[in-house]
Amino acid sequence: MNKFRKFVENFLRDKNNLMFLGVLLVAFVIRLYYFVYTNGQTLWWDESEYMSMAKNIFYGIPYEFNPQRPILFPLLIGFFLLMGENFVKFFISFLPSIGVVILTYLLGKEIYNKKIGLIASFIMSVFWISIFNATRIHADTLALLFSLLGIYFFWKGYISNKSEKLLSLGFLFMSLGFMIKVNAALAPLIIFVFVVITEKLDFLKQKILWKSVVWFFIPLIPYFIYNYVKFGTIFSFISGYVDPNSLASKFQSSFNWSIFGFTYDFTNTLFFILFLIGILFVLLNIIMGFDLIYKEKNLKVKADLLSILSILIVICWFVFIERWSAEPRWLILMAPFMFLVIGRGILDSFNYIKINGRIVFFIIIILLFLGSYSQLKYNDELIKSKKDSYIPVSMAGLWIGENSNKNDLILSKSVPQITYYSGRETLGIPFREPEKIKELKPKYMMVSVFELHPPELLQFVDNIQDHLEIVNAYFADSKGTQPMLIIYKFKDYDF
C-alpha cells in the first residue's frame, strides 16, 4: 500500500503526468457525451453483420458468416451482448477508444519523449474518426488498440530492453489485432520492414526474435482450424481483400492515388500544415542520419523511420493493393504516427526560434485548440447527421420479429440488419430465380431505399404484386407519399 501511495505521489509531481491526466479527462468527457447522445441509434451493415454473427454463436439465430470477418470480434461481442447492446458498445468501442489515447501517449513517450507523446495523445483525444467510432460497433478501434500494444511492446522488448517477455507480448497483441480485423496485419508488416531496414539480414541471427514471434502464430492455430472447418480453407479471410478469384479483375483498375488525401481528411487544415512541417523534419533526420541507423543508440532516427513507415505502408497498401475501395477508418493505424509527427514538427520548429518557454507553451496550446476545433466541429456534424440514419430498417426488423414465428423466413437486401433486429433467418432476394422463392416459401419480403436494389429486382416486385400484400411501410414525408421501406407478405407463391 505504501509503495502504491509513493508511486501515486511521484506520478502526480510530474507536470507532464498531470497534463496527460487532463488529456484523458478531455477524451473521456467528449466520448461519454456522444456515447449517451447516440444511445439507441440504428446499427449499420458492418455492425449488424458482427452482431448477427454473435447472435448465431450465442443464441443459434440462423446467419451465414462472411469469411472475411475474423471470429474473435463477434465472440467478444457475444460475451458482452449477454448484458445488452450498450455494454457491447461500451467495452468494444468506447473503452478501446480511450485506450488508444493512452497508447498514443505511451508510444510517443517511449520512442520520442513525453512532450511529443502529450501532443499526439491530445490530438487523438479529439480525433474525429476515433470519437465517431467510439459510438459505433466497428472493429477498427479495437484492432488499432491491439496493434498499438503490439508496436509498443515490440519497441520496449526489442529496441529498448531486449526483453523476450515484452517482445512476445508485442507479437501476441499483433496476432489478436489480426483476429479482430484482417488489415491489422499491417502492424507486423510495418515491424518486419522496419527490422529489415535497420538490421538488414542480421535479424535472422536474433534468437530473441525467433522465440518471440512464435506468440504471433500460437493464437492463429485455432483460428486457422476454424477457417478450414467452416469455409474449407485456412485463408478464408482474404475474401474481399486480395481474393485470388477476383484479384486479376480488381487489379485492372488504376492505382488509387486519392488515398493520399486521407492525410488531410485526418488532420484538416491547421494540423495538416503542422504534419507537413513534421514530415520535413522527419525526412531530413532520416536522410542525414541513415548511415548511422544500424547503431543501436541512434534511437531518434529509428523512431522517425518507424513513424514514416507506419504512415507510408498503410497508405501504399490501399493505393497499390486494396486499391478498389477505402474508408478513412480503415487507415486509422497511421493516425497515431501522424500525430507523433505533428508533435515532432511543433517542438522542432520552436527549437529554431528563441522564445521564452512559457510563450512557447501557450502558443502550442493555442495551436492545439485551434486544430481541435475543426476536428470536434466536423465530428459533431457527422455524428448528428448519421444518428437517425437507417431507423426504418431497425423498426422494420423489430416489427418483423414481433409479427412472425421463429422458423419464418424473410427476404431482404438488408440481410445483417434484419437478421439482428428480427431474430429471423434472412436471405437476399433471389429475383432472378423465382422458383427458389417458391421453394423457400418466405413469409415477408422487404424492399427499401437503404440498399442498392437493381432495376430488375424492382421490376420483379412489380410483376408479382398480385401475390403480395403490403403489411407495413415507412415514409420520408408525413403525408405518406414517399415510401422509404415497404414490407410485403406473400399471399401465395403461384407466380
Give, to the nearest 10 degrees, the angle between helix 114-126 and helix 95-111: 160
Note the pLDDT of residue 243: 47
Determine the Cα–Cα distance for residues 492 and 495; give it in Å rounded to an integer. 8
Task: Please report which helix (H) or strand (E) contains residue 472, including its range.
Answer: strand 468-475
One-letter identity of residue 113: N
433: which residues sit within 8 A by CB, 6+ positions away?
none
Residues 391-490, CATH architecture: 3-Layer(aba) Sandwich (3.40)
Phi-psi region of 116 (alpha: psi -120 to 50; beta: other; left: phi over 0): alpha
Note the pLDDT of residue 117: 97
Determine the Cα–Cα distance for residues 194 and 124; give it in Å rounded to an integer. 24
pLDDT, one tens digit per residue, over 202-258 is 888 888 999 999 999 999 999 999 999 999 999 888 876 654 454 454 555 688 899
Q: Is the dihedral of CA 205, 208, 211, 215 positive or negative?
A: negative
Note the pLDDT of residue 242: 57
Domain map of the chain by residue range?
2-386, 391-490
Note the pLDDT of residue 6: 78
Q: Which residues of the chain have pLDDT under 50?
A: 243-244, 246-247, 249
Q: 337, 104 in Cβ contact below 8 A?
A: no
Kindly state the greatest CA–CA separation across the chain: 86
Tell me the backbone φ, ψ of residue 489, rounded to 5 degrees.
-110, 135
pLDDT, one tens digit per residue, over 75-99 is 999 999 989 899 999 999 999 999 9
